[in-house]
């Protein structure tokens, strides 16, 4: 695919996808969502890719929301399709078997916050601000914001952000569980790279198992979730990576995982 709005770069086993619309604060229009869907599918299929970093170009915003100029023209039927396009993409990101890190240097608002919440880890600058301001446009979040925010931070904060429409700073978002880590602005890239490299060196099948167990388990009754964990643990114990990991531990050396 000839990307117009997404940049793709690889550093070892880490692939970075950068939404490249800085003049629009990386706002999400339909074309950008389709490009992201293709880029994530390609990363999923690439055996050389073990970790994905999702970023926004420029200094001001990760993603400042949906593209309002496009949103304002949607009919109800088109709005329904747009919402489903975003929800399908974000669900695919959430259920990807490879860790996805959101690098948040500035604003993550509306669709940008929803996109970040679909990622597995969210590492942000102290300057970051997150929020769901759709109420100010006369609509509600349409890419899963009312659901993931309540699951991450509880009903109280979800209602506050969605009803009042005002963003919160990185410190409060971290305390609420919306963000994973918050660092000084000049340490953001170093921190993201360090976490990505640690994940890239980990056992890929075990990483996939953890992601699967956490997300599947969160949607099941506890007894079913525990059984799913047991079966996933057993599958991991059938892999070459498990043999390599345990042997490396006993031999006091670093393991070399192959994803087999």
CB 88 within 8 A of CB 115: no
Burial of 156 (0-12, 13-18, 19+ CB in 10 A): exposed
Side-chain-side CA neighbours of residue 76 (13 Å): 0
* Same domain assignment for residues 194 and 102: yes
CB 171 within 8 A of CB 126: yes
Q: Which residue has the higher pLDDT, 146 or 259?
A: 146
* Same domain assignment for residues 13 and 52: yes
256 located within any domain: no
1 located within any domain: no
pLDDT band with cut points at 50, 70 and 90 for residue 1 = confident
Is pLDDT above 90 for 155? Answer: yes
pLDDT band with cut points at 50, 70 and 90 for residue 39 = very high
* Same domain assignment for residues 196 and 228: no
The predicted structure's pLDDT at residue 227: 95
* Count: domains in the chain: 2
CB 185 within 8 A of CB 123: no
Residue finishing a domain among 167, 182, 200: 200
CATH number at residue 244: 1.10.12
Residue in the block written with tokens 């706002």: 27
CATH number at residue 69: 3.90.226.10
pLDDT in tens, 158-203: 999 999 999 999 999 999 999 999 999 999 999 999 999 999 999 9
134 located within any domain: yes
Residues with active-site annotation: 114, 134
The arithmetic mean of pLDDT across residues 6-34, rounded, is: 97
* Same domain assignment for residues 180 and 236: no
CB 120 within 8 A of CB 211: yes
* Same domain assignment for residues 38 and 67: yes
225 located within any domain: yes
258 located within any domain: no
129 located within any domain: yes
Residue 102, helix vs strand vs coil: strand
The predicted structure's pLDDT at residue 72: 93
* Same domain assignment for residues 193 and 163: yes
> Domain containing 210: what range?
204-250
228 located within any domain: yes
* Same domain assignment for residues 196 and 208: no
Residue finishing a domain among 161, 178, 200: 200
Backbone dihedral angles phi then psi of residue 185, each to the nearest 5 degrees: -55, -40
* Same domain assignment for residues 16 and 123: yes
pLDDT in tens, 215-253: 999 889 999 999 999 999 999 999 999 998 999 999 999
Residue finishing a domain among 164, 181, 200: 200
Pairing of strands 100-104, 121-125: parallel
Mean pLDDT of the chain: 96
* Same domain assignment for residues 88 and 10: yes
* Same domain assignment for residues 212 and 181: no
* Same domain assignment for residues 71 and 162: yes
Is pLDDT above 90 for 259? Answer: no
* Same domain assignment for residues 192 and 178: yes
259 located within any domain: no
pLDDT in tens, 76-129: 999 999 999 999 999 999 999 999 999 999 999 999 999 999 999 999 999 999
pTM: 0.94
């Amino acid at each position: 695919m000839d990307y117009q709005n997404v940049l793709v770069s690889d550093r070892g086993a880490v692939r970075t996808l950068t939404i490249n619309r800085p003049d629009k604060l990386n706002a999400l229009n339909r074309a950008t969502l389709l490009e992201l869907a293709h880029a994530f599918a390609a990363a999923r299929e690439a055996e050389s890719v073990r970790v994905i970093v999702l970023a926004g170009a420029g200094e001001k915003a990760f993603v400042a929301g949906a593209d309002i100029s496009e949103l304002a023209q949607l009919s109800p039927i088109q709005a329904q399709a747009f919402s489903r396009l975003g929800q399908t993409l974000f669900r695919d990101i959430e259920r990807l078997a490879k860790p996805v890190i959101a690098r948040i240097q500035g604003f993550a608002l509306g669709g940008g916050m929803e996109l970040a919440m679909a990622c597995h880890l969210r590492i942000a600058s102290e300057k970051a601000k997150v929020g769901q301001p759709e109420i100010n446009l006369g609509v509600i979040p349409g890419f899963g914001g009312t659901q993931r925010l309540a699951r991450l931070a509880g009903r109280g904060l979800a209602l506050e952000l969605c009803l009042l429409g005002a963003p919160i700073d990185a410190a409060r978002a971290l305390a609420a569980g919306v963000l994973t880590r918050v660092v000084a602005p000049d340490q953001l890239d170093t921190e993201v790279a360090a976490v990505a490299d640690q994940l890239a060196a980990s056992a890929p099948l075990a990483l996939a198992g953890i992601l699967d167990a956490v997300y599947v388990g969160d949607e099941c009754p506890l007894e079913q979730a525990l059984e799913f964990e047991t079966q996933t643990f057993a599958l991991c114990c059938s892999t070459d990576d498990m043999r390599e990991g345990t042997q490396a531990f006993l031999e006091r050396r670093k393991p070399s995982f192959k994803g087999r």
